[in-house]
């Protein structure tokens, strides 16, 4: 249990959490006790609970409790959810009348909370992918991806893979590479250069019939269908063994090369120029980046000219001191500029590109889109650094009206869209469309750039979520309600419950009212039409870092 949680419980035991305590503190204590067995045990074992409970109850509403709770009632109960609810009810006594008590139904508006995401074990990071054509569009690994054990296949281009051990591998396609661990791999076809610093000594790169173990070196391995695998040692030495001779490895020194011919290793000329090297890769990557930046500029120009583009925020060409973002859409030129609150300027997904960084509870991007819209697409390039809340805001309204949207990332990594259909009773889940969810994020996505899109067709009710150009979830809203944006915020929830249309929000538990996004944003566009799957895929391919 966290130290701050222990302090909160001790403050309760010391009587510091009294009738004058902020509602948020009471909510936080309630949530802690409801969800943490450790917290309940800590509370039970650190004080005479019944006395403390009576003091708080009397201070809040003396007429409500006239008898003192006993050990026989409280101590067995404190280990159960029922006791936590009882404690919550006592703590609620004396709250202001304008606070609506939460009910279970109110928590279902954005859908049930899933379990926290599980993270697979990473073994390497894809540092760069230059001129790469992937063999399977469904097996694309964007630059910056954290890689797990498994196959990587490319038809052309060069990959730079950094293993967690520190070993670095440059792979020329066409190639098939299997990552086995954080310090080993298997090359089925292709050319690879390995650079192994001291902490990664012992790095293993196997191939059909030939195993290569580094002894502190740089080396190349070529595997093709028309000849046996070749090993070229550029620096240091490597240890070789064949399937027939595992017990007596052969030492290959620098500036030597061997080829497996049948069951025999034969010497061949060493050819460093035939293998990928970092200097040449850097030059090619620089040329590739310039080309792709121009391609991306062309995409932005096309999006800006699209008559259905409501807002287009590229975050480029802005002064560092500026606290506003210009809407680049031609159709709405001079309207719908966004205001930056709290968030700071930072680097985007490419070198030289700008973006916004969201860190604190106050950070947000505010903008207004008036009117109703029958069809929409919402797209963003984002980098998620963490998911600290039950729901983490992508876009939420500051004032509610029929058609208002919730676009969130749920704590388990799901993208979710819900829509308010009736403002007369917004706490009733029956008055909301959705949620429609998509499997958006996993624990390996933190810290890297992703392209997310959600579309909605009012005529059919269909909602589709895309991640990195791929459909990751779709469903249908039960009621055909046009979209009404109004005053919106990216990265936060500005609806504070003080206005008449937002009072129901006070009924949400604290951990569901707090929805600040933690990460970066360097492109945001909203369209009054449904983007096609082909458009979304192409935009991702061109814009991928």
User: For 365-401, what is the HEC assignment?
Assistant: EEEEEEEEECEEEEEEEEEEEECCCCEEEEEEECCCC
- For residue 109, what pLDDT is reported? 77
Residue 395 has pLDDT above 60, yes or no: yes
pLDDT bucket at 22, cuts 50 / 70 / 90: low
Question: Among 279, 296, 322, which residue terminates a domain?
Answer: 279
Same domain, 326 and 460: yes
- For residue 118, what pLDDT is reported? 66
Max mean pLDDT range (57-61, 248-252, 391-395, 428-432): 391-395
User: Which tokens in the block code for residue 268?
Assistant: 């061949």
pLDDT bucket at 216, cuts 50 / 70 / 90: confident
pLDDT bucket at 135, cuts 50 / 70 / 90: very high
Residue 111 lies in a domain: no
| 427-459 pLDDT per residue, tens | 888 899 999 999 888 888 899 999 999 999 999
CA distance 238 to 405: 60
- For residue 314, what pLDDT is reported? 96
Nearest CA among 71, 73, 5 for reference residue 38: 5
User: Which tokens in the block code for residue 253?
Assistant: 């020194």
CA distance 491 to 364: 5
312-329 average pLDDT score:
89
CA distance 147 to 153: 13
Same domain, 353 and 250: no
Same domain, 189 and 261: yes
CA distance 71 to 100: 32
Same domain, 264 and 339: no
Same domain, 271 and 316: no
Residue 115 has pLDDT above 80, yes or no: no
158-170 average pLDDT score:
94
Same domain, 77 and 167: no
Residue 87 has pLDDT above 80, yes or no: no
Q: What DSSP line would sit under 181-210, residue for residue?
A: ETTEEEEEEEEEEEE--GGGTT-EEEETTE
Same domain, 199 and 344: no
For residue 482, the domain's CATH number is: 2.60.120.200
3-state helix, strand, coil in the chain (%, to 5): 25, 40, 35
**φ, ψ dihedrals at 36, nearest 5°:** -125, 105
**φ, ψ dihedrals at 85, nearest 5°:** -65, -40
Identify the domain containing residue 335 by its residue range: 308-543
Q: What's the mean per-residue pLDDT of the chain?
A: 83
- For residue 341, what pLDDT is reported? 96
Residue 114 lies in a domain: no
Residue 527 has pLDDT above 60, yes or no: yes
Residue 446 lies in a domain: yes
Same domain, 372 and 271: no
Q: What dihedral angle (degrees, nearest 10) is formed by the CA atoms of 462, 468, 470, 476?
A: -20
Question: Among 279, 294, 316, which residue terminates a domain?
Answer: 279
Quote the number of domains for the chain: 3
Residue 103 has pLDDT above 60, yes or no: no
Residue with token string 């196959």: 151
User: Which tokens in the block code for residue 351?
Assistant: 């070198």
pLDDT bucket at 45, cuts 50 / 70 / 90: low
pLDDT bucket at 319, cuts 50 / 70 / 90: confident
Same domain, 471 and 326: yes
Max mean pLDDT range (58-62, 92-96, 120-124): 120-124
Same domain, 67 and 164: no
For residue 273, the domain's CATH number is: 2.60.120.1440
Q: What dihedral angle (degrees, nearest 10) is formed by the CA atoms of 504, 488, 422, 310?
A: 180
Residue 477 lies in a domain: yes
Residue 484 lies in a domain: yes
User: Which tokens in the block code for residue 335?
Assistant: 């309207």
Question: Among 261, 279, 297, which residue terminates a domain?
Answer: 279
Instruction: Please write down the long-range contacts of 119-123, taking CB distance under 8 Å and 24 or more positions apart.
Output: 119/442, 119/443, 119/444, 120/148, 120/442, 120/443, 120/444, 121/148, 121/149, 122/146, 122/147, 122/148, 122/164, 122/182, 122/444, 123/147, 123/148, 123/149, 123/163, 123/164, 123/179, 123/180, 123/181, 123/182
Pairing of strands 184-195, 204-207: parallel
| 252-296 pLDDT per residue, tens | 999 999 999 888 899 999 999 999 888 888 888 888 888 888 999
């Amino acid at each position: 249990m966290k130290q701050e949680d222990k302090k909160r419980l001790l403050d309760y035991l010391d009587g510091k959490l009294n009738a004058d305590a902020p509602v948020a503190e009471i909510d936080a204590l309630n949530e802690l006790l409801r969800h943490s067995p450790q917290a309940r045990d800590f509370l039970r074992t650190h004080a005479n609970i019944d006395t403390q409970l009576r003091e708080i109850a009397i201070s809040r509403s003396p007429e409500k409790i006239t008898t003192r709770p006993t050990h026989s009632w409280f101590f067995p109960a404190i280990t159960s959810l029922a006791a936590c609810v009882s404690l919550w009810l006592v703590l609620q006594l004396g709250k202001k009348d304008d606070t609506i008590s939460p009910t279970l139904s109110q928590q279902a508006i954005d859908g049930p909370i899933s379990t926290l995401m599980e993270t697979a074990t990473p073994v390497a990071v894809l540092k760069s992918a230059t001129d790469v054509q992937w063999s399977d569009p469904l097996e694309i690994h964007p630059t910056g991806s954290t890689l797990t054990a498994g196959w990587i296949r490319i038809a052309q281009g060069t990959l730079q893979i950094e293993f967690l051990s520190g070993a670095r591998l440059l792979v020329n396609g066409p190639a098939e590479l299997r990552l086995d661990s954080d310090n080993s791999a298997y090359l089925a076809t292709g050319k690879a250069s390995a650079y192994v610093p001291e902490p990664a000594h012992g790095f293993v790169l196997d191939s059909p019939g030939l195993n290569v173990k580094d002894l502190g070196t740089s080396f190349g391995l070529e595997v093709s269908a028309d000849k046996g695998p070749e090993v070229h040692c550029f620096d240091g030495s490597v240890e070789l063994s064949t399937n027939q001779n595992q017990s007596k490895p052969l030492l290959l020194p620098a500036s030597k090369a061997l080829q497996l011919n049948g069951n025999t290793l034969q010497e061949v000329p060493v050819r460093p120029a035939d293998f990928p090297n970092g200097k040449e890769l850097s030059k090619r990557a620089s040329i590739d980046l310039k080309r792709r930046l121009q391609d991306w500029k062309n995409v932005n120009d096309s999006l800006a000219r699209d008559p259905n583009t409501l807002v287009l925020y590229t975050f480029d060409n802005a002064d560092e001191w500026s606290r506003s973002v210009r809407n680049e859409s031609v159709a709405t030129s001079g309207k719908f500029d966004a205001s930056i609150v709290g968030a700071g300027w930072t680097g985007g997904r490419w070198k030289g590109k700008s973006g916004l960084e969201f860190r604190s509870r106050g950070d947000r991007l505010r903008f207004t889109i008036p009117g109703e819209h029958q069809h929409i697409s919402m797209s963003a390039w984002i980098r998620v650094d963490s998911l600290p809340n039950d729901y983490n805001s992508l876009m939420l309204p500051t004032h509610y009206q029929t058609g208002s949207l919730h676009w969130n990332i749920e704590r388990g990594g799901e993208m979710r869209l819900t829509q308010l259909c009736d403002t007369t009773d917004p706490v009733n889940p029956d008055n909301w469309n959705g949620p429609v969810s998509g499997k958006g994020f996993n624990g390996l996505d933190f810290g890297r750039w992703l392209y997310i899109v959600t579309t909605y067709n009012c005529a059919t009710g269909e909602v589709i979520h895309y991640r990195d150009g791929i459909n990751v979830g779709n469903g249908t809203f039960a009621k055909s309600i046009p979209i009404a944006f109004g005053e919106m915020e990216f990265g936060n929830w500005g609806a504070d419950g003080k206005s008449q249309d937002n009072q129901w929000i006070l009924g949400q538990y604290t951990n569901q009212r707090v929805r600040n996004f933690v990460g970066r944003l360097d492109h945001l566009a909203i369209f009054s039409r449904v983007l096609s799957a082909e458009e979304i895929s192409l935009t991702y391919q061109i814009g991928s870092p």
